[in-house]
Structure 1
């Protein structure tokens, strides 16, 4: 059952201004007139639905898991300025940019004005998550921490260094969410303490702060059972809406329009399944080869292959939820693999790191790696391979390659680092008279 979204609550903050930091809620919803900020918080959650499709496509189709086949969308599979073309910008980047800033504005309203501590902590979680997505996708971005940003001073839209966004917004907000939340929200699909810790750990991984990542991710792994978060016995169940290992998901319902105006939110399912004309046969043969290599070296058949891809029809089959398929943003397997990676990068021995992979590999029908490899480099490779196959088609692959500095090695081409991130939507640049600037190379 979808517990977060009520249609009216989700629509109260729709706006029509020219840029996304310069919005005023309709229906006279000024803070002075509001008593109940629950609907405003629901709107912050709701806007994530307008990001899911683009995030999933960027994560796998930009990388070596899936292929785009129709011009001009094939530019997502190449690494040059073509990606900034009008059709691509409209289809993939504008919804992400606009909906994340709408979520941020809604969160700001709750943080500034709500008297309910749990609402404020949830809003801090959503604001942190929204800015995390923005910097992963676009790099430097505008910072707005006000519910009522100036409508006349466009200088507030000047893009700030991604490092400052991490240090001044994302990390403090996730820490505040950890302090203000417990884990009761897990049952209803809302923000929780354990999810905030998991994302903070992931943020530290992106910053190369492995020691801090170890602290947060160790807390996630140790607290999981008490929070009723456990690995599914069957890999077929890992991305179902009732999966026991979900730490946070953007909930989606076909009865409620997605935040980008689509009639149904779960459009990412169709992209992987080959039902979108832009990619009728989306499976990249390199993903098939990776699964086959896993089986060959793992002492058995990697059970994840048949549950993730259909080689005969060249498509993905991981998602079975149809139009109501939730977008899983963080699950326990992701956190465990990040924890293993953080331990390895802080020079923990292989005998400490590899057992973390055992339950994940065992579920996949593979042998334990413990005792078979020992060097830090070999363990690093094993973890990267496991993340690729365990999280395939969940929107992580490209961002993992960028984070670990392995784009060239894995893609087999030399990629200019300008193209590690994506182009700023042209509409944002135009609406701000160039105060918001384009990323280098586009």
Structure 2
């Protein structure tokens, strides 16, 4: 009997059991009558859902926020890992040893959410506060949505697993759902999340909230080119009054969980991340596995040199040692690597609303106004009046996304989405060889080996 199913089937243990997908002897089953019998056990299981987001092997600790920028060329490979080298050179293979981490970490989080959702109905009457029951249920729907959204963006259609797996069945195979089916499921999950989650604004402190579900749903519609829905949802978050842009860009990351943060993955001294370690050079205590790129790609200026004069964000994007070594400075806590990592923040909502308005046509002044909000916070003047066509406004939006959301896991997906409208986006993808099948990552080969019903993305 195979012990791996989609990189997830060992149930997330609530206390001390192993759920590592590559462990040769994982715990294969937790009897359902012993798994989640009380509200307290559900609360612990909900915490475990969030814990999966912190994973340094495929989670927000590293790969989810670094690989999209490195694949697109804004981060250059400067390390030693062969798996990172493939990403940095855009030469991915199905044998890449980092991809199973992205796949497996997402499915672990999904399975934990599945267990919460399966256990809650029988315990509803045991919660003293019905709103807590609704919130925990909403959080589980949100976590499933976020993980499936990440999976579909990297790999395309993936198997939709919606029931908890506490025992490894004899038939381990499951085929892939289509990307459209996964997106539809993500939308339905976020609708369910919004129905149960409270409006917490920036007080959510690393937990899902109504606004986080709304913001993620705005991004989901944007990625599907559903402009009006994306506009409406981003507008709702902006107008909620629960968030405000930090006056200084660097404070978004130095202070953490600020009024701009819609949702962040928290890391602490006792539960550390790794991003500062991977960005900082050895002379500052890091490893410097990747660094801001200086090379132009397809006629587009390299990221390190692409900032306008006076753009305060450049000091966060790139710094230099005394010896002239460039490194990223968005995540700075090298001592404990306890930097929180943004998943959703208000600045992105302005950029989503701007892009959607520009795509809808006839609303360019709105689109420009939102871009100017982001530019002004960065110390830049309004866009020049000569930027007045749809293509020019969309190009300006892509440029602002590049200089606002760097090292947060957006660049590759932005280039894919803008390639139809902004020639520079297609030029970068073409120069990097990211066309055709390369617009998706390969399904990890070890997942296909464990489940023959899985099919590989074309060309790998």
The TM-score, its normalising length taken from structure 2, stands at 0.82
Distance 1:71 1:9 in 2: 30
**Residue 180 (str. 1) matches residue 234 (str. 2):** no
Following superposition, the deviation at residue 193 of structure 1 comes to: 0.7
Q: How does 1:298-377 map to 2 (within 5 A)?
A: 300-311=309-320, 312-322=324-334, 323-369=337-383, 371-377=385-391
SS at match of 1:146: coil
Q: What SS does the corresponding residue of 1:285 show, helix, strand or coil?
A: coil
> For 1:330, what is the secondary structure of its paired residue?
strand
Describe the shift of the 1:13–1:380 C-alpha distance in structure 2 as closer, same or farther (beyond 3 A).
farther
> Which of 267, 270, 274 is matched with 2:274 structurally?
267
Q: What's 1:5 paired with?
A: none
Residue 33 (structure 1) aligned with residue 37 (structure 2): yes
Pick aligned residue for 1:151 from 141, 163, 168: 168
Residue 376 to residue 307, structure 1, CA distance change in 2 (3 Å): same
Instruction: Tell me how far apart the structure 2 counterparts of residues 111 and 103 of structure 1 sit (CA, whole Å).
Output: 12
| SS of aligned partner of 1:354 | helix
Residue among 253, 259, 263 paired with 1:244: 259
CA 1:346–1:76: 2 relative to 1, 3 Å: same
Structure in which a larger fraction of residues adopt helix: 1
Contact 1:15 1:25 in 2 (8 A): no
Distance 2:275 2:245 in 1: 24
Distance 1:180 1:33 in 2: 21
Matched with 1:56 is 65
1-side partners of 2:286 and 2:77: how far apart? 10
SS at match of 2:343: strand
Which residue in 2 is equivalent to 1:425?
444
Query: Is the 1:9–1:42 Cα contact (8 Å) retained in structure 2?
Result: no
Q: Does 1:117 align with 2:139?
A: no
1:300-344 Cα deviation digits (max 9, x unpaired): 511111122115322111212341111111111111101110111
> Equivalents in 2 of 1:127, 1:31: separation in Å?
19
Q: Distance in 2 between matches of 1:220 and 1:370?
A: 28
C-alpha contact 1:56 1:268 (8 A) present in aligned 2? no
| Structure 1 runs of 4+ with >6 Å offset | none
Query: What runs of 5+ residues in structure 1 fail to find an aligned partner?
Result: 1-7, 257-263
**How big is the alpha-carbon RMSD for the aligned residues of Structure 1 and Structure 2?**
2.9
> Which one is further off, 242-251 or 285-294?
285-294
Does the alignment pair 1:107 with 2:113? yes
Tell me the residue number matched to 2:90: 79
- Given that 2:158 and 2:179 are in contact with CA atoms closer than 8 Å, whether structure 1 keeps it comes out as yes
The CA distance in 2 between the partners of 1:99 and 1:281, in whole Å, is 22
Q: Secondary structure at the match of 2:93?
A: helix
Q: Cα deviations across residues 65-123 of structure 1 (Å, max 9, x unaligned)?
A: 1111446332212334x5333xx32xx22222112111111111112221211100110
Q: Is the 8 A contact 1:291 1:302 kept in 2?
A: no
Q: Which residue of 1 aligns with 2:458?
A: 440
Residue aligned with 2:344, SS: strand
CA contact (8 A) 1:104 1:127 kept: yes
Q: TM-score, normalised by structure 1?
A: 0.85
Instruction: For residue 292 of structure 1, report the CA deviation from its aligned partner.
Output: 4.7
**What does the per-residue CA deviation read over 1:194-250, in whole Å, with 9 as the maximum and x for residues that have no partner?**
111110010001111111111111111111x2x2x1100011112232322111111
Report the 3-state secondary structure (helix = DSSP H, G, I; strand = E; otherwise coil) of the residue aligned with 2:75: coil
Shift of 1:371: 3.2
Q: Secondary structure at the match of 1:282?
A: strand
Partner SS, residue 157 of structure 1: coil
State the distance in 1 between where 2:358 and 2:196 align. Answer: 31
Tell whether the 8 Å contact from 1:319 to 1:325 is kept in structure 2 after alignment: yes
Specify whether residues 219 and 313 from structure 1 end up closer, same or farther in structure 2 by C-alpha distance, changes over 3 A only: same
Query: Are residues 409 and 111 of structure 1, via their aligned partners in 2, closer, same or farther at CA, if it must alter by over 3 Å?
Result: same
Q: 1:17 to 1:201 in 2, by over 3 A?
A: closer
